[in-house]
Amino acid sequence: MTQPQDDDKGTTVVEPEGFMDADVAASPQHFYRQARALASVVPGVFGPQVVRRSAVEYVLQHPKEFSSAMEAVDLGQSVPLIPLQVDPPEHRNYRRLLDPIFAPRRMNAIEEDVAAMVNERIDRFVDRGRCEFTDELAVPLPSAVFLRLVGLPLSQLDLFLEMKDGILRPSGNDLDQIQSSQKEAARRIEEYFAGAIEERRRSTGHDDDILSLCMAAEIEGQRLTDDEIVGIFFLFILAGLDTVTDSLECFFAHLARNPEHRRSIVDDPTVIPSAVEELLRWETPVTTVPRVATRDLELEGCPIKKGESVAACIGAANTDDEANPTADVVDLTRDPNRHLAFGGGVHRCLGSHLARMELRVTLREWHRRIPDYSIAPGTELVYQPGLRQIESLPLVFEPVGSSR
């Protein structure tokens, strides 16, 4: 347990391990507050952790000093993760090409399909009166939506989930085994997308899915190479699936434990868009984003050395009063809500409109059909640090029959 402690002189001690501690991850807001009270930058296990809002914003807004073009994210892939591991100015070209493909209008156009997917999942357990939320909804949904966007058949869902888990939840007893199973999964994913590109070239009738759009798009008159497209889709798997899964888990765990918040969504579903923003702020499922310092510098009085890995703790920034007054209160109607849950600066999340739509639709359809629910008695939720994944989230409710 690494929640902040008072030492015998009455000074708060924030252990670097706290940022990687499962107990802290379950409810990190108090830990963040104590860390911010100490300084803008505090020691973490792998390097400095930037915790105050102004300092986190500085890191995100200054990619020349805090680069994301680093080797740190080595998951055995043979291509760089585009556009995350690309610094400006090249980065801008990729975002110009990708932003329109992930624009709100295009993402909202598949909202009805996503609602049908959510309902089809709920149908499977609604008259049982309980579900394993993680396995039965939060994990399969984002991958099913992704297959729909890429224009690949839903019959590939199991294969897709297996490849994704090979990268993000690799098996193995030691680092060597873990790295070799990740490398194997990376090879399969690269082959899978290289095959999908080939297949798309041979077939006709595809033009509006995100793979066909990436293949047709040009940067200064040049099409993307196959390697670039594979690098982009590899990143989509890393950035666009477990992030939504973990957000759904954190949201539903919060709502299951806070009946007044659940009730306000059920009574007035128009609150859902602002509730999504507030739960993203309060829960901040992606707690930190990594950078590397490109020179010796000082950040709000804290020295940082060239080459050091720096973690911008967006979870701590999101609970800092500096940008959101009464940041310690969860207010589902908060407006404006200046959270950084999707990052900030040039690398701000490409998939935020897609993620928001998936979260909104799931909250809407679930609460329409299952207004009252709680965590199964006797369950102790286990959160992972970093990406705040909940290993298992069993929910119980009155069986309500499967009519929609």
Which residues contribute to the site for ligand HEM (CB under 6 A)? 68, 83-84, 95, 235-236, 239-240, 243-244, 247, 285-286, 289, 341-343, 347, 349-351, 354-355
Tell me whether residue 341 or residue 370 sits nearer to ligand HEM (CB atom): 341
Place of tokens 């059920």: 266
Residue that is written with structure tokens 């950078």 in the block: 291
Instruction: Decide whether 126 or 311 has the Cβ nearer to ligand HEM.
Output: 311
* Closest approach of ligand HEM to the CB of residue 204, in Å: 26
Rounded to a whole number of angstroms, the minimum distance from the CB of residue 174 to ligand HEM is: 28
CB of 245 to ligand HEM, least distance (A): 9
Nearer to ligand HEM, 125 or 342 (CB): 342
Least separation in angstroms between residue 54's CB and ligand HEM is 17
Please give the radius of gyration of the chain, using alpha carbons only, rounded to the nearest integer.
21
- How many angstroms separate the CA atoms of 214 and 253, rounded? 36
Neighbour tally for 336: CB within 10 Å: 9
The residue among 234 and 373 lying less far from ligand HEM, judged by its C-beta, is 234
Nearer to ligand HEM, 233 or 373 (CB): 233
What are the beta bridge partners of residue 45?
none
Closest contact distance (angstroms) between CB of 241 and ligand HEM is: 7
**Residue 179 CB, nearest distance to ligand HEM (Å)?**
22
Nearest to ligand HEM of 80, 343 (CB atom): 343
C-beta of residue 338 within 8 angstroms of C-beta of residue 324:
yes
* Start-end of H helices in 85-204: 90-98, 104-108, 111-123, 133, 140-150, 157-168, 175-202
SS3 content of the chain, % helix, strand, coil (to 5): 50, 10, 35
Nearest approach, Cβ of residue 247 and ligand HEM (Å): 4
How far is the C-alpha of 348 from the C-alpha of 340, rounded, in Å?
9
Distance, in Å, from the CA atom of 131 to the CA atom of 133, rounded to the nearest integer, reads 5
Preceding omega of 83 cis (within 30 degrees of 0) = yes
Burial environment of residue 176 by CB neighbours within 10 A (0 to 12, 13 to 18, 19 or more): exposed
- In the bound complex, which residue of the shown chain has the CB atom lying closest to ligand HEM? 351
Instruction: Please identify, using beta-carbon distances, which residue of 12 and 61 lies nearer to ligand HEM.
Output: 61
Residue closer to ligand HEM (CB basis): 126 or 215: 215
Q: Which helix (H) or strand (E) holds 24?
A: helix 22-26
CB of 68 to ligand HEM, least distance (A): 5
Task: Return d(Cα 81, Cα 85) in angstroms, integer.
Answer: 5
